[in-house]
Amino acid sequence: MVLWNGIPMYAPLTPEYYAIPGAQRCVFRIMQDQGDTQAWNLYWLTKPETDNLLVRKEEWFNYYHSLSETQTEAFYEALDTEVSQRLTLASVVALAPREAIHLVANAQLEKTRFYHLYDGEAWRQTMMGRLFLAARLERDHLPPPTEQADVVWIDFHTRHHGLRNGTQHRPG
């Protein structure tokens, strides 16, 4: 799992890599400067076209559209809104992707102004798809196991135990 400021980062890279050429105060540089991992996670979940900035920066204006000023205000308000089990949306997107998937699926996103200004339930579906992608990216970045170990199992009812290779032993 890639951590940024001690929080799982869903995107493959920090916001600085997505910064729009020539723009001194683009949203990506602001998030990078503030070290705002939760905002970055939510933004990356919300706007899939952001990934195009990694490969087509010189043509960003053809496919990338920033949030409006009103949407941006609502976006940051949404981070501070309780949406699931007394958790704010910022708390939810600070969790590992696999944990966040279950919470976002059932979150009360409609409590946020952003939900109503952006895409409603389509926003949730976009975030869910991106969370599954983040979980896959996380899995692909796990280091390979360094040691092989046999697994010991014990059946407490019959008092049998054994190793993964199927050897069984009775207590003596």
Give the up-direction half-sphere exposure of residue 76: CA atoms within 13 A in the CB hemisphere. 10
Q: Tell me if 120 sits within 8 A of 74, measured CB to CB.
A: no
Beta carbons of 90 and 41 less than 8 angstroms apart = no
pLDDT at 165: 40
Can you tell me the distance from the alpha carbon of 86 to that of 99, in angstroms, rounded to the nearest whole number?
Answer: 15
Give pLDDT, residue 110.
Answer: 98
Tokens, residue 89: 């949306």
Q: Name the β-bridge partners of 155.
A: 160
For the chain, residues with pLDDT lower than 50 are 142-159, 161-172
Give Cβ neighbours of residue 85 (< 8 Å, ≥ 6 apart).
Answer: 103
Secondary structure element (H or E) that encloses residue 66, with its range: none
- What residues does each domain of the chain span? 3-146
Other beta carbons within 10 angstroms of residue 77's beta carbon come to: 13
pLDDT number for residue 1: 73
Estimate to the nearest angstrom the gap between the alpha carbon of 138 and the chain centroid: 9
Give me the pLDDT at residue 141, please: 56
For residues 163 and 150, the answer to whether their CB atoms sit within 8 Å is: yes
